[in-house]
Structure 1
């Protein structure tokens, strides 16, 4: 253990911290609990991190950076835009149901970061990443269905992130799958109706400047 590279120590401690937070919350993720989970000595912690807050800030960044999508667009792309968005959200929700502990941990870490001066900017970076992922998904959904977004995709992406947060948090609170599914259907219809114009015929030529943004 004494010769373990610092990068490996950090990775091991970050993984252990997430496990502890998933079970016991941020308040239970003491430095002692983290090193015990990692099977390391307390002194090893300070070779890798200056403080517990530094570890927690990096933990948020690492977990968020490993997330690949907010809206899991189906590969087949069949159906209209609203249908595609709904299926993408249902796929996302299936991941939430499979790993509720991960979602609880991330919500708690976000709240902790917002209350902790030394973690300033962590939650902001987290949501910038979420919105970027949502924007990429919306571009893909439009391309798959031949639709054109009338509103700026960045605005729609922010709406989508807010909706997925609400759906996730409500489900964590009540565990009601049917209610979550109804809300997902509503969210898909709302995004599609608010932001997209009719599909563009395959033969039509759409100037790049008109593929996004508000129409007159």
Structure 2
């Protein structure tokens, strides 16, 4: 949560001190594709709380708000997985989410083709499959359509323009759920302390 507060305050302060929008940013915005990989804490209500891994990717569009700020949104897929001991059994858990992020981004140009950026926003997600396996018991349980989660997102990164139409960026992101809505008869999974490295490709069309 401290990371979210830090980046949010930085964005507000930058309103008064921001320089010209990076020249490699088209007035109509850009399309982007990204992928990320990192760690996460997975919690099942009244059951367990364990560390795990996370990987995901987004296809989306940037919309220019003014010369300093833009809005990013799209469709994101996220997969979390972990394994842990419970009553001398090794349990494997894999969850798949579809998410809709809405992020505000500030770019800061420090060379002709390279800029730094910070972003902060919210997301809504849908846990569409959850798979639990116990190998020693030859047990597998797969559930579909479990429920929704809502959370906060923050990120920072460096973006470099390769040519007139393409750019690449490398960054660091953090996410965490602040609310979940699940059916009464299903486990209520919550993701927190998600930290990941993200690689993105940007295209002007």
Structure with greater helix percent: 1
Of the two, which has the highest radius of gyration? 1
Structure with greater strand percent: 2
